[in-house]
Amino acid sequence: MVTNLDFSKCIKVADLGCSSGQNTFLAMSEIVNTINALCQERNQIPPEIDCCLNDLPGNDFNTTFKFISFFNEKLTSKTPCFVSGVPGSFHSRLFPSKSLHFIHSNCGLNYLSKVPEGLEKNKMSVYITSSSPLSEYKAYLNQFQKDFTTFLRMRSEEMVSNGRMVITLLGRNAIDDPLYRDCCHHLTLVSDSLLAFEGLVSASKVISFNMPLYDPTDEELKEIIRNEGSFQINDLETHAFDLGHSKEENRESCRAKPGEKEANCIRAAFEMMLVAHFGDAINIDTLFAKYAHHVSQHASCMRKTLNVWDSAWLSLSQKESPMGPAPEALVELKVSDLFLAEKNEWDLAKIRQFLPFEENKVRLLKPSLTAAREWNSSQGLAAVPRRSQPVRVIPQDNCVMVRSDAAWNETNKIAGLGWTIKTQNRVSSFSSPMRFVGSPLIAEGLALREAVEKCRDLGLTKIRCESDCAQLIKALTLDHPLAELYGIVADIEAVALSFDFVSFTWISRERNRDADSLAKQVLSAELVLMASPNNV
């Protein structure tokens, strides 16, 4: 820019969407130091630099300005720099005509000026998911096209001739499927985490919340820039980044680490938006602890490989690895039924037909292509038989019996969770309290989830889970995912991938007395602890 511009003694630089805090000045200090270095190479006198920091009017500019001394320390020369704040939306005009020489923006343009129209059916998620209709994806794309076009038009009026912009955005892979998990994976997990607060948050609050965000492909960006016509692309680079799923962090001992790392990144980006919409109805720490848990579960799924192509995927008779049981369509599927061996990819149409709530999990699994070809060549793609009635669960030898129950306090929204694990030699008892629980049904689901996770941690391979909560068992065995239990059921099904055999059975309350007693005891202890003066 310095070598090509015929500028005056002052260069005006703008950082759009600067946010607040110490990190605000990192990009600006790099810009200033680069200008100084280029001037020194060409024996030019460095110009004065007008550093304009822009963000929405609600941004904490006062805190930002307290770090100007930090900014000055980062500079490699004593070039005069003048810092100012420019409150306003970059979707409108911010500066006088022909006044800017250089513009920088880092990820701010991923945020849309408003939530797209036409998302009335998107009630179970805060964003488009891999199972969303194509119309919802197009609604987000159309809004991004409008906003980015407006941004380019506004900046073209504000920039001098031959000015430059450097824009960084989060993007996604340019592939045929626009709803591939890369573009919505992180926000899908935010949706799953928010569902844990059903009962505490009004349904209208959840339904009305959609993230005003879009991750474009490089081709979508190129098309918008070409169509708007004010700018030319000097360079467009794409870089892959990892929020914690690299190979060296995929060891079992490090499973919590990637979850926490990604949760912190997502929290930094979306905490203010979530708090502004939901207020005190959600505990933000609990929400992102839940998010970290989901990430860890997905990281575990990513390491699984399917090799047995003639094994059941959906079974009418039992809950088998890696998925199950069958949905209301009452079908039996084999892994080979869901895979297009000639294309080395999953059959998304079938997955969306028979596994609408499992698609994200399926995409995380790595199929064995060699085994698939061998199976398909010898057997052909198996037909999908239909049955009029589901058959009974087939008992398995050497199963560990797991019983769970919960007690719930409506006033304080606290639950006591209790469960027992019975092997051939002994019965082990476990319990734990849980806060911010919205209903007794959620408490029952949390108790079973804790029990199943404990079995996984103990290395058990065959378990029979029993509960006296008929609604919970129905949600797990008949694929009736109540909105109140959707996130918890998804957790349980993800953990179930770790076992060779899992079944879920209803039992009477009389037979579940031990787990019930454990739950009531831990709830009573937690209520006493809350009432203690030392805990106020």
The last residue of one of the domains, among 302, 325, 347, is 302
- Report the distance separating Cα 266 and Cα 261, nearest Å: 9
CB 107 within 8 A of CB 169: yes
With a pLDDT cut of 90, the percent of the chain lying above it is: 32
> What pTM, to 2 d.p., does this model score?
0.58
| Cα pseudo-dihedral 318, 321, 322, 326, rounded to 10 | -10
Place of tokens 């995380």: 364
Weakest mean pLDDT among 188-192, 439-443, 518-522, 527-531? 188-192
- DSSP conformation letters of 267-301: HHHHHHHHHHHHGGGS-HHHHHHHHHHHHHHHHHH
Tell me, yes or no, whether 43 and 158 share the same domain. yes
Last residue of a domain, one of 200, 228, 256: 228
pLDDT higher at 360 or 244: 360
- Across the range 334-358, mean pLDDT stands at 66
Whether the CB-CB separation of 493 and 361 falls below 8 Å is answered with: yes
| Top-confidence residue, 69 or 207 | 69
439 and 516 both lie in a single domain: yes
Q: Is residue 47 domain-resident?
A: yes
Q: CA–CA separation, 442 vs 396, rounded Å?
A: 29
173: in domain: yes
Same domain for 322 and 286: no
pLDDT at position 182 over 60: no
| 309 close to 372: Cβ distance less than 8 angstroms | yes
Last residue of a domain, one of 348, 379, 410: 379
Give the pLDDT of residue 8.
66
33 and 59 housed in the same domain: yes
| Residue 525 neighbours by CB under 8 Å, 6+ apart | 433
- Asked whether residue 205 is assigned to any structural domain, the reply reads no
The tally of domains found in the chain comes to: 4
Share of residues in the chain with pLDDT > 70 (%): 69
What span, in angstroms and rounded, lies between the C-alpha atoms of 16 and 111?
Answer: 12
The answer to whether position 278 is within a domain reads yes
- Please indicate, yes or no, whether residues 292 and 315 belong to a single structural domain of this protein: no
Residue 272's domain comprises 247-302
What CATH number did the domain enclosing 71 receive? 3.40.50.150
- The reply to whether 54 and 144 lie within a common domain is yes
In this structure, of 51-60, 224-233, 262-271, the range with the lowest mean pLDDT score is 262-271
Residue 394 is predicted with a pLDDT of 45
d(CA 207, CA 195) in angstroms, rounded, equals: 11
Is residue 268 a contact partner of residue 274, using CB atoms and an 8 Å limit? no
pLDDT at 433 over 60: yes
pLDDT at 270: 82
Q: Note whether 354 and 431 are same-domain residues.
A: no
Give the model's confidence band at 377: pLDDT under 50 very low, under 70 low, under 90 confident, else very high: very low
203, part of any domain: no
My answer on whether 322 and 438 are in the same domain is no
Indicate whether 102 and 147 sit together in one domain.
yes
State the chain's mean pLDDT as an integer: 77
CA dist., res. 176 & res. 190, Å (int): 25
> Is 338 found in the same domain as 312?
yes
In a domain, 242, yes or no: no
Confidence check: pLDDT of 380 > 50: no
Q: CB count, 10 Å around CB of 297?
A: 24
* Same domain, yes or no: 359 and 320: yes
**pLDDT at residue 307 tops 70:** no
Do 24 and 99 share a domain, yes or no?
A: yes
Give the pLDDT score at 203: 65
The band of 104, judged by pLDDT with boundaries at 50, 70 and 90, is very high
